[in-house]
Structure formats: structure tokens, C-alpha cells
Amino acid sequence: MKNHLSVKLLLTLLMLTGGSRAFAQIQTFEWQNVQRQYLVRTPAQYDHEVPVLFFLHGLGDNITRLDNEFHFQRVADQLGWVVVVPQALNEGYGTMWNAGMTASTTNDSGFLMALLDSLTTPCQINQDSVFFTGFSMGGFMTHRMAIEHGDRIAACAPVSGLITSYMANHTAVAPVRMLHIHGTNDPVVGYDGGSQYFGGQLGLSVENTLNYWKNANGCTGDPQIDTLPDLHNDGLRFVRYTYDCGTDLQHLKVIGGNHTWYHSEDQYDIGYLTEITRFFKGETAPTGVAVHPDARSFKVFPNPAIGLFSIELEETTRVQVMDMLGKVYMDERLTPGIHQVDLRAWPEGVYFVCGEGVYSKVVVSR
């Protein structure tokens, strides 16, 4: 494998991520005599100890642009978590993490853990709820963090990033809860580990990446496979593989998926951040619920709803209503019949109405 990324790959990823659009408040942290930059978003309301989510950007990206795209303050407020967005150094090919792909000697792994230890926020970090996710090169780096620091990281969710050949020769320090997300039509970081923009393998294939974590997490047998409901004409199919492990391991296979972070449930069957944060919280995602023959059916109307909607049930059913980030607005056991739900005090947007074995979406407007 070559030790240098091609200019074509860099330009491709830069086009995919776009340019910086606005100023964001950035902090600095000195690590090994280098001033490293990072962004911290603290929730407006929080408990005594809160989880912390590290989000690692892709090759050539920057934290200001990423903050503009993901609106991390909104994410922090909705989750009640601290969100940390570190900046990689410019290694000559643009900003990139040392995930073991090149001959770089930058100790990004040490920097990220030192940053965790140095964080000063109004709320106290729950050291048992440290989460990492990242896209593309950030996904590669997320795998490295899981391998080297899984004893301190509660869960990881790499997107469109693999385990490099270098890191594959390292034994994970501990099992770590892992959700790997990857598109089958990714031309930049291929499902087979190769790339249309790079001469050779970027890392292990998705299959071998999962085999690495199956071994590390003590998995046995075949996975449970759930094809998620196809609710949008988006050209994609989402399939969840859940492995029988001592420590959670899931793979979200995006059939037809490109080198893209799929954001919105308004456009796609799922949104990546919703799936990731729900996995981190250990919740069963409504988009991952298999529709069984004995599922308790219900109807939701009108949809879209203006302030109010109704749920019609045939059987007594536990019903939850939650937003796209998993915040639960209602959790009640409802009897057969029609029940009206008042959303007039809730924000506009898409909500999930979850029954026992099935779910529906409702769009709330004013």
C-alpha cells in the first residue's frame, strides 16, 4: 500500500465536504509543543455528569465547516451531552488524522485522550459515557481510538472508514461497543477496502473489519439481519446486522450508499446521527424494529399533522413518541381505541410513533 494519499483523493474529499462558511468559537490545547484546535458545545441544560461525544472530521475538512453542517450546539442541547469536535493537523495533503494509513508520526491518538482529560466545561464529564464517531478519515481514526483506548471509550460509530492494515496488526486493548456504517457504492472508501481514487487498499474490507471486532468482542454465530422499512424513494436500502457478542457489535449496511453522511429522515429512511446516538444510549431504534406477523398494528392520522394527531389501536399497546435524536416526548400504555396526541407545545419536525413491533412517522407543522 502506498504511504501517500493522491491529490485526486484529496480534491474529491474536499469537494464532498465543501469549504468553510462561517466563523465558530475555537479553543486551543497545547499537545507535544503544538497548539491543537478544538470546538466544544455544552448543553444549555444538563445533569451533574453528562456523556461526551467526540466527532472526528474527514480528510481536508475543518471544524468550523463541520459545525455549520451539523449544528452541534443544537445536538448538544437535544442530547444533553457535551460535543467535542477536534481539528486534525495539516500533514501536507490537507488536514488528516494519523489513523495508521501513512508514515505520519503525529500522535493523534494520544492527543485525543489528552484532550478528553483536559476538558473544562460547566458540567462534569461522565467518564463511563465517552463516545467517538467520525466520517471517512475520521471513521478510520475512530477505529484506531477503539483499538487503542477501548478501555476508556464506551462506544464507537465509524462512518465510511475502515481499520487500516497497520492497525489490523494490533490487538484491541478491550472489547468496545461498535456500530460500523458503510455504503456499498462508496467510490472513495470502498466496501471492499479499495478506492477508485487511490492505488491500492485503504484498509481492510468491511467484512474483515467486522471480523476484527467479532473476535475482539467475543461474537459467535450468524448475525440477526433486519431490513429496515423502505419509506422514501431515495434509491437506498438500509440493512442492520446485529451480532451475538459479549459486547455489542452492529453493522448498518447502506445498499446503494455513496461516500456521504445521510442526515435527514425527511429525505432518507434513516439519519446517521439519529442511529448513532440511539446506539450509544443503548436504545432500540424504531427504524430497526422488524415488523413481525404478531406486531400490534396502529394507525396515525392525520399525517402531516397541524398541532394534533390521533393514534388508533386495536390492542392495548405501549406507545412511545420521540424525535429524530431519540428524545422521548410520550411513553404510555394505551388501550384499544382512538387517542389524541397534542403536539402544539412541541417543535415542528419529524417524530416517530413506536408501538410493539412496528412504528410510524408523523410530520408536525404549525
Look at residue 268 in the predicted model and tell me its pLDDT.
Answer: 87
Look at residue 144 in the predicted model and tell me its pLDDT.
Answer: 98
Residue type at 258 in one-letter notation: N
**Third-level CATH fold of 298-365:** Immunoglobulin-like (2.60.40)
**Do residues 357 and 296 make contact, with C-beta atoms less than 8 angstroms apart?**
yes
* Predicted confidence (pLDDT) at residue 166 exceeds the cutoff of 70: yes
Identify which of 292, 284, 330, 295 has the alpha carbon closest to the alpha carbon of residue 311. 330
Fold match flag (7-288 vs 298-365): no
Concatenated DSSP letters of 115-154: HHHH---SSEEEEEEEEEEEETHHHHHHHHHHHHHTTT-S
Domain boundaries, the chain: 7-288, 298-365
Q: Which three cell numbers stand for residue 224?
A: 440477526
Express each pLDDT in 188-207 by its tens digit: 999 999 998 877 889 999 99
pLDDT average, residue stretch 102-128:
92
pLDDT average, residue stretch 57-86:
95
User: How far is it, in rounded angstroms, from Cα 329 to Cα 310?
Assistant: 15
User: How far is it, in rounded angstroms, from Cα 126 to Cα 175?
Assistant: 19
Look at residue 235 in the predicted model and tell me its pLDDT.
Answer: 87
- Name which of 32-41, 291-300, 324-333 the model is least confident about: 291-300
Q: Report residue 99's pLDDT band, with 50, 70 and 90 as the boundaries.
A: very high
Q: Report residue 8's pLDDT band, with 50, 70 and 90 as the boundaries.
A: very low
Q: Report residue 161's pLDDT band, with 50, 70 and 90 as the boundaries.
A: very high
Q: What pTM, to 2 d.p., does this model score?
A: 0.74
The answer to whether domain 7-288 has CATH 3.40.50.1820 is yes
**Which of the two residues, 42 and 292, has the higher pLDDT score?**
42
* Predicted confidence (pLDDT) at residue 289 exceeds the cutoff of 80: no
pLDDT average, residue stretch 167-181:
97
Express each pLDDT in 19-45 by its tens digit: 332 334 789 999 999 999 999 999 998
* Predicted confidence (pLDDT) at residue 162 exceeds the cutoff of 90: yes
User: How far is it, in rounded angstroms, from Cα 349 to Cα 357?
Assistant: 23
Q: Report residue 264's pLDDT band, with 50, 70 and 90 as the boundaries.
A: confident
* Predicted confidence (pLDDT) at residue 336 exceeds the cutoff of 70: yes
Look at residue 126 in the predicted model and tell me its pLDDT.
Answer: 94
Look at residue 155 in the predicted model and tell me its pLDDT.
Answer: 98
pLDDT average, residue stretch 209-229:
92
Q: Report residue 55's pLDDT band, with 50, 70 and 90 as the boundaries.
A: very high
Alpha helices, H only, the chain? 7-17, 63-70, 72-79, 108-118, 137-149, 165-168, 206-216, 272-280
How do beta strands 49-56 and 34-41 pair?
unpaired
CA of 366: how far to CAs of 31, 324, 334, 343, 346, in Å?
A: 49, 18, 26, 10, 10
Look at residue 228 in the predicted model and tell me its pLDDT.
Answer: 82
Task: Give the highest mean pLDDT range of 43-47, 182-186, 221-225.
Answer: 182-186
